[in-house]
Structure 1
Amino acid sequence: MIEELKSSLKEKSFEEGLRFVANQYPGKVVFSSAFGQEDQAIAHAIFKNDIDVKVFTLDTGRLFKETYELIDQTRSRYKKPISVYYPNTANVEQLVTEKGMHSFYNSVASRKECCFVRKVEPLKRALEGASVWITGLRSGQSVNREEFEQVEWDEQNKVIKYNPILDWTYDQLLDYLKENNVPYNKLHDQGFISIGCAPCTRAITAGEDSRAGRWWWETSQKECGLHQLKTA
C-alpha cells in the first residue's frame, strides 16, 4: 500500500499529489495545520483547487495572538472551513492544578507531558476515521526530520502520513508563498521561523536551526510527540 502510493506520487507535482491522494481515499484525508509557512502553502493548494481534504488545527490555548489572527485571515481569504480541536478540559485543569501554569519549564518530561495534553491527545481525536494524514514537515527543518519519508506509515496513529513538501528547500517555500500571495504569520518577519505556543517559542538568530526557537531552554530533540522520530 505504502510502496504503491510512493510510486504513484513520484512523478506528480505538489498539487497533483494532493489531489491524487484525496481521490484515492475519498473523505478519508485530513491535513493538520499549525499555520506555519509550510502549512499555509499546503492549505493554499487544497483550498485553491477545491481538493477533498479536511483541514484542521490544534488550539492548545497558549498560541500567539498573531496565530489566532492568521486563522481568521485564512478563513476569510479562502472561504473554507477549518476545524479546531481543543485539549480535554479536565486534563488541562488537572495538569495546571497539580503542576502549575508553567510546569513545562521544569524538565523535558514535564514539557512533553504538557505537549501530550494540549497537542497529542487532541490530534488523536482529529485523526479518528482518517486513512491519510497530510503534514507540512520539511526535512530541512531539523536534523530530526532528515530521515522522514514523503509517504510513511504512522504506527502511533495507525494512519498513512503524507509529507508532500518534505524535499522543499526554505527558498522554494518562500517563493511559493510569494508567487501565490499566501497569507502568513507576521511573526515570521520578526525572526520566528517555527512557531508554536507563545511561552515555548522565541525568535532565532542567524545560523541557528529553524527549530532552535522551540523549547529553547532544552537540549532535546525539539519535538512535541506529534511526529515519531526514527529509531536505529
Structure 2
Amino acid sequence: MAIMTTRPTGGHDLIGTSSCPKQVMGKKSRTFQSIFPSFRYTIFLRGDILRKPYLMTVLIFLLLVIGVGGTVIYANSHPTENEQTSIRSILKKYERAAKNHDVNNMIKFSLDLSWPNQKQFEENLKKLNEDVLKFDTVALEKIETDLYKATVLVQTESLEETQMELPVLNLNGQWKIIVGQDIDDYEKLGDSPTSPTIKPAEFYKKIFS
C-alpha cells in the first residue's frame, strides 16, 4: 500500500484534489473522505492486496479485535453485575458448608462479630452442634464500595425461619459473609427500607483487620 503526498506539479495524483477513482501506473486507486471535510486522500492498492486470502486474514483479525474489545468493555461497564455473581457464589458455598458443618469452609467464606479472632472463631465453630436447615439468599444489594447487604432466610434446630440481613464485605480482595449479629437486632427491621444491622464498610474493616 502506498499513500501519495501532495505535490505542486506533475506526475502524481494530488491528495485532496481527486474526488473519483483513477488508474495510475497500473495500480487500482480509491479516494476516501477523511475526518476533515475539506481533505481527501487517495490510496493506491496493489493487485496482490486485493486477493481473497489476504482479505480473509484481515477480516478474521478485525473480528478477533472486536470480540476481545467487546468483552473488556462489557466487563468494565458491568462491575456490579460481576461482583454480585461472585458474592452469590460465595453465599451458596457458605450454605453448603453450614448445612454440612464444614468448619474449614465456613471459616473460609465468613467472619464472625462474636469472635473477630480467627482462631477463636474456629474453636467455637467446632464446638457448635446444631444443624442448619435453611440458608437461602433472597436478595442482594450494594450498599457502598466493598459492602453488600445479603437478605437470607435462616432456619436451624433452635431458630425458626427468620429473615436476616447479613453484611458481605470485601476484605483484602476477598468477599466475606459477616455473621454474629445479635438476633434481637432483626426485630427492629419491620418494614423499614434501611437496616440497623448493616454498618459502614470501614466499621467492619477496623474490627477484622
Q: TM-score, normalised by structure 2?
A: 0.26
Report which of the two has the higher share of strand: 2
